[in-house]
Amino acid sequence: MCTNIRHQDTGPTLLLPINGIHLATLIIYISLIMNKNLFITIEGIEGVGKTTQIKLLEAYLKGKGISFISTREPGGTQVCEKIRNILLHDEMDPVTELMLYEAARAEHFSTVIEPALKDNRTVICDRFADASIAYQGYGRGVDIKLIETLNEIATKQTKPDLTIVLDMDLDQASERLRKRGTEPDKFERLDKEFYKKVRKGYLDLAVKEPERVKIINSLQSIEKVHQDIVSVIKY
């Protein structure tokens, strides 16, 4: 968690009452608001609307004057983009795939995410460690404990403050991708059973960690999904 980053020392305080409120309380309150950066990850299977919602969230944070960065896994740096290229184009053993994702995650975390959090900025990340649990664990059958251990190493035991899982029926997500038209064969490359397992992986994570992982119904309109996201972020 980046709790240590967000709750910073507010310095010396005054104890003069103003209209019944102690000035000290007021200063702490303002300072907490100003220091409130969050690490937010957006998850879900292909075509559920992650990119669409991240753009709306970026505009929302900008409007609120919140300092943030927006990044994605497994990209973000030159090394990560190279690893991403291998992952997207070559078939491989599931454990090899997991380790490549974890290698990219370690690089991305230490060079992009961690410095931003230390700098007190909010971070929005398109997929993160939970994706390995869902895809390599539930989807490809790699041992979950192994994935959790590698996730801890790659992320220096940092968990997002909030993970939003956009969830919807597989056929409708596939239909959205067909309409988008950029990668018509994305769903066809892997069978439906695979995506059913991945979806279950995300739903199970929300049951296991209900405070952190929030499921949002992405069958709703773009605007309604955005409102639901904003309501859980509470900025």
For ligand ATP, the binding residues (CB under 6 A) are 44, 46-52, 176, 179-180, 218, 221-222, 225
Rounded to the nearest whole angstrom, what is the least distance from the CB of residue 104 to ligand ATP in the complex? 16
Task: Measure the CA–CA gap between 169 and 204, rounded to whole angstroms.
Answer: 16
- Return the number of other C-beta atoms located less than 10 Å from residue 214's C-beta: 17
Which of 43-51, 60-68, 82-90, 140-148 is the region at the interface with Mg ion (rule: CB under 5 A)? 43-51
Rounded to the nearest whole angstrom, what is the least distance from the CB of residue 35 to ligand ATP in the complex? 30
Residues sharing a CB contact under 8 Å with residue 55, sequence separation 6 or more, in sequence order: none
Q: How far is CA 153 from CA 96, 107, 139, 143, 214, in A?
A: 16, 11, 22, 16, 24
Identified binder of Mg ion from the candidate list 8, 35, 51, 231, rule CB under 5 A? 51
| Residue 49 interface partner, choices ligand ATP, Mg ion, none, CB cut-off 5-8 Å depending on type | ligand ATP
Residue 3-42 contact track with Mg ion, rule CB under 5 A, x = bound:
----------------------------------------
Instruction: Give ∠ CA 89-171-203 in degrees, rounded to 5.
Output: 85
Task: Measure the CA–CA gap between 71 and 49, rounded to whole angstroms.
Answer: 16
| Residue 106 interface partner, choices Mg ion, ligand ATP, none, CB cut-off 5-8 Å depending on type | none
The residue of the chain with the least Cβ separation from ligand ATP equals 49
171 φ, ψ to 5°? -65, -40
By the 10 Å C-beta count (0-12 exposed, 13-18 middle, 19+ buried), 26 is classed as: middle
# residues near Mg ion by CB under 5 A: 2
* Cβ nearer to Mg ion, comparing 50 with 84: 50
Rounded to the nearest whole angstrom, what is the least distance from the CB of residue 183 to ligand ATP in the complex? 7
Under the rule (CB under 5 A), what is the footprint of Mg ion?
Answer: 50-51
